[in-house]
Amino acid sequence: MTENEKRPGAPKSRAGQNLTALIMNHYAMLHDAAKDKQFVVWASISVPTEIFKGFENVIVAIPENHAAMSAAKNAGVPLAQQAEAIGFSMDLCSYARIDLGTELGDPKASPAGGLPRPDLLVSDTNNCSLLIKWFDIYHRLWGVPHFVIDVPFCYEEQKETDREWIVGQLRELVTLVGSMTGQAFNPDKVKKALARTNEALVHWKAFLALAAHRPSPITAFDTFAHMAPFVVSRGEKQTALHYKMLLGEARARIDAGDYPVQNERYRLLWDNIAPWHQLRAMKARLAASGANLVHATYTSCIGTVEGGYAHYPYDGRDPLLYMARVQNFSVCPYGLRLRFKAMAEIIGHVGIDGVVFASNRSCKVYSIMQMDLQRLIEEKHGIPTILIDVDHADVRKYDEESVFLRIEALIERIDQNRGPGARPYRC
Ligand code: SF4
C-alpha cells in the first residue's frame, strides 16, 4: 500500500472532529429548541439566514443540509425510497426526495431524526423552481406560510434595481417574522452576525487558496465536508472559530510536508454539487493514482459574487443591502459567461490540469451549460475535460467503474499534453 492509499483512512483531524461535534450539536439543538416552542424556520441554502439573528429564539433548519448529510451517511436511498413509495418520481431532485421521505415517511431512518416542524418556510429562486415546489408541498400539507425570495438571474454585475428588488423582499420577510413572533427586529444583531460570517469567510477563502500550493494541502472533498458550518450556523462565533482551526491545520500540513495526496501528479477541478455518497471512496481511488480534486466550483463560490474568486467583504453598513448584494454568489443562476469566468478564475489562481464536469441527474440547473463550458475550457485554456454521470445524493444513479473509466481517459490526455516523459497513469 502506498502512502497515498493510507491517507483517506487516517484518523480525523481536530477540525474534522470539531465539524462532527458542531453538526451533531446543531441537529440536537434544533430538536431541543423546537420542544421549547422556539420559532422554527426552514430555509433553503441560498437564504441569507443572518437575517433571523435580528430576532430572539428563532432557529433555522436547512433541509438541503439534512439531505446531504443523510446521503453521506448512507441513509439517502432508504429515505428517498420512502418518498418514492408515496408517489414522488425518481426524476425529482434527490435532496427533495430524501427530505420528503423523511418528513412524510418514517423520520427514524434519518441520521438526525428528521427536522422539527417549521413555523415558516423560506425559499429562494437562487436555487431552482423545483425547490419552491418542494417547499410548497409542506405549505399545502401543514398550512405553514411559504415566503419566496425572488432573485433575478445573474448575467453580469448586479444592477441597482435588482438589488433594491431583493432588499424590498428582505424587508417584507422581516415584517412577516416580526408579526409571526411578536418581536421587533434588531438590525444591530444582524450586523454582528454578518461580521462573524465575514470573519469565517476570510478564513474559508484563505483555506481554499492553499490549493495553489503544490502539492495541495487540501482537497475538494475537504471543502465539501467543511462547507456545512457555513450552511447551518452562519453568523455564529463557533463557525468563525471552526474555519480558523481548519485554516491553521492546513497551513501546518504544508509546514510538516504532510499532504492528502503525497505524490500529487494530477490537479483536477470538480464542477457541480458534491457526490455526497462517494466522498471517501472517490477521494481514496483518486489519491491512490496521484490525482487530487483540489477545487470545486460548488464550494469556491461561497463568499464571492458573480464568478469572482476573491471574498466580497461586509462593509459593516446596511445589513439588508449587503445580504441582497451577496445573493449573486451562487453558480446556479449564472449565465454561461459568469460560469466560464468562475472556472477561469479558479484555473488562474489554483492551477488545474483537468476538469471533471459532473452531469448531475438531480440538479439540472447546475448541469445545464456544461457541454458549452467543456468546449470553452478546452478551447481557451487548453485543459482537457470530461463529463461524467452522477447524482449528488442518490447512489443508485452512479456507476463507479464507468466514472473512473472516464477519469482514466482524462488523465491519459493530461499525460499526452505533458509529453513523452510523463509517467503512465493507472486507476
Ligand atoms: S435541483 Fe439543484 S438547486 Fe434545485 S433543490 Fe435540487 S440540488 Fe438544489
**Residue 95, domain CATH:** 3.40.50.11890
The reply to whether 7 falls in a domain is no
* pLDDT value of position 127: 82
19 plus 118 within the same structural domain: yes
Of ligand 1's atoms, which has the minimum distance to the CA of residue 392?
7
**Distance of CA 114 from the midpoint of ligand 1 (Å):** 19
Q: Which of 156, 187, 218 is the last residue of a domain?
A: 187
Top mutation candidate among 363, 368, 390, 397 for ligand 1, by most atoms within 8 Å of CB:
363
* pLDDT value of position 421: 61
* pLDDT value of position 265: 97
The reply to whether 425 falls in a domain is no
The reply to whether 1 falls in a domain is no
The reply to whether 353 falls in a domain is yes
Q: What is the dihedral of CA 206, 208, 211, 212, to 10 degrees?
A: -50
| Single pTM value for the model | 0.95
Pocket flag, ligand 1, residue 130 (CB < 6 Å): yes
Pocket flag, ligand 1, residue 270 (CB < 6 Å): no
The reply to whether 4 falls in a domain is no
The pLDDT tens digits for 143-174 are 999 999 999 999 999 999 999 999 999 999 99
How many angstroms separate the CA atoms of 61 and 174, rounded? 18
The pLDDT tens digits for 388-405 are 999 999 999 999 999 999
pLDDT per residue as tens, the chain (427 positions): 334 444 545 678 999 999 999 999 999 999 999 999 999 999 999 999 999 999 999 999 999 999 999 999 999 999 999 999 999 999 999 999 999 999 999 999 999 999 999 999 999 998 888 999 999 999 999 999 999 999 999 999 999 999 999 999 999 999 999 999 999 999 999 999 999 999 999 999 999 999 999 999 999 999 999 999 999 999 999 999 999 999 999 999 999 999 999 999 999 999 999 999 999 999 999 999 999 999 999 999 999 999 999 999 999 999 999 999 999 999 999 999 999 999 999 999 999 999 999 999 999 999 999 999 999 999 999 999 999 999 999 999 999 999 999 999 999 999 999 877 655 444 3
Q: Which of 159, 187, 215 is the last residue of a domain?
A: 187
18 plus 119 within the same structural domain: yes
254 plus 207 within the same structural domain: yes
Q: Which domain holds residue 161?
A: 14-187
* pLDDT value of position 12: 83
* pLDDT value of position 347: 98
* pLDDT value of position 423: 52
292, 266 contact by CB (below 8 A): yes
34 plus 158 within the same structural domain: yes
Q: What is the dihedral of CA 118, 123, 128, 134, to 10 degrees?
A: 20
297: left (phi over 0), alpha (psi -120 to 50) or beta: alpha
The reply to whether 427 falls in a domain is no
177 plus 196 within the same structural domain: no
The reply to whether 346 falls in a domain is yes
Top mutation candidate among 100, 361, 365, 392 for ligand 1, by most atoms within 8 Å of CB:
365
136 plus 271 within the same structural domain: no
How many angstroms separate the CA atoms of 107 and 318, rounded? 40
54 plus 108 within the same structural domain: yes
* pLDDT value of position 427: 39
* pLDDT value of position 422: 56
116 plus 207 within the same structural domain: no
157 plus 241 within the same structural domain: no
Pocket flag, ligand 1, residue 127 (CB < 6 Å): yes
* pLDDT value of position 424: 46
- CATH code of 276's domain: 3.40.50.11900
Instruction: List strands edge to edge, sheet with 146-149.
Output: 58-61, 39-43, 120-124, 146-149
240 plus 279 within the same structural domain: yes
The reply to whether 309 falls in a domain is yes
- Number of domains the chain is built from: 2
* pLDDT value of position 197: 98
78 plus 212 within the same structural domain: no
Pocket flag, ligand 1, residue 128 (CB < 6 Å): yes
Q: Which of 132, 158, 187 is the last residue of a domain?
A: 187
166 plus 285 within the same structural domain: no
Other C-beta atoms closer than 10 Å to the C-beta of 199 total: 17
How many angstroms separate the CA atoms of 307 and 200, rounded? 20
* pLDDT value of position 11: 73
